[in-house]
Amino acid sequence: MSWLDMVKKAIGTGILCSLLYHGTLFIMGQPIMIKSVMVFTVVFIVLYFIWLFMASLGRKK
């Protein structure tokens, strides 16, 4: 998987998971702040990208 594919996959998955997580909280009536949504999304994207990168390194050996 190339760098661009990993970035696209990380961004798409991060946005989807953030929508699911915060959507569930919203449906349950919990307060949601835009700052917490943005922080969750960015941290998820970065961590998922690191995981994809490390997984691709292990596969090459």
Task: Collect contacts of 35-44 with beta carbons under 8 A, ≥24 apart.
Answer: 41/14, 41/15, 42/14, 44/13, 44/14, 44/17, 44/18
- This model's pTM is above 0.85: yes
What does the pLDDT read at residue 60?
62
Q: What residue segments make up the domains of the chain, in order of their start?
A: 3-60
Query: What is the model's pLDDT at position 61?
Result: 56
Tens digit of each residue's pLDDT (9 = 90 or more) over 11-33: 999 999 999 999 999 999 999 99
